Amino acid sequence: MKKQMIIFAALCMAAVANAQTTITVDKALGTPSETKKLNDAVYKGANGLAFIGDARQLKEEGKEQGLTHEKVTKHFKAEGKTIKAEAAVNFQKAPVGVKNKQNNIIPTKAPHNRTVEFKPASDGKLYALVWSKNPSARLFYAVVNNGIYDLKEFKTWEKGSTAGTESNPYEAVELDYNYKEGDVVFFFATGPLYMSGVYYTGAADTAFEGAATKELVNSKKMAKLAKQKKAAASE
């Protein structure tokens, strides 16, 4: 019996290691008949993908600044596979409060609106299915773990000669992600960039329903970390 349990555990681990996750917006949120505004705090998606419309504490009624959810069919290529998505969310603009006066992103400021969240459950390569009507656009991504928000990088999406069609799909944007248990990945943009989904070569936490930033990011830990970095820089 003990030997059987060991074999079963090994098979489960192998299954997770070989897992693959493709979550398109139409599967997570459905396909709207017309453009919808996503201005509520959190929209539960599916299979580890969730959407933050506008979870700011100080938002005013009628002045919400969230995502839009649109019906649009696009094709993407990732690791030799073509992925079809029939809906997308548009980030529209940068989240409120993440830029300084020089229009640069502040690394320690976590977004409280216009964000897509993803929760991986194993090692894997992470690809964002993003595109824009503009020739290029920037996608930012960060990881939150144990209350600490860590802005990783941004990737510039380039349209090039691709069209997002089945015969000429967009190239999915690969991110430099290294899995750690408990990670929640944040995606946001600084302009009208569309996200049609996520492709991950590992497994996703299917029970994840999304969470407002203040529930994931510990302000005291972030303040302590900022002091430590400031002290280190002055040495």
Task: Give the pLDDT means over successive 10-residue stretches in the chain (235 positions).
Answer: 45 48 96 96 93 91 93 97 98 95 93 97 97 96 97 94 96 96 97 97 95 94 84 75
Q: Quick one: pLDDT at residue 19?
A: 72
State which CATH number among 1.10.1760, 2.60.120, 3.40.50, 3.30.390 fits the domain covering 20-234.
2.60.120
Phi-psi region of 230 (alpha: psi -120 to 50; beta: other; left: phi over 0): alpha
Q: Quick one: pLDDT at residue 229?
A: 76
Q: Quick one: pLDDT at residue 160?
A: 92
Q: Quick one: pLDDT at residue 82?
A: 97
Q: Quick one: pLDDT at residue 11?
A: 36
Indicate whether this model's pTM tops 0.85: yes
Q: How far is CA 100 from each of CA 8, 130, 208, 223, rounded to the nearest angstrom?
A: 53, 25, 32, 18
Q: Quick one: pLDDT at residue 227?
A: 83
Question: Domain locations in the chain?
Answer: 20-234
Closest CA to 196 of 68, 10, 23: 23
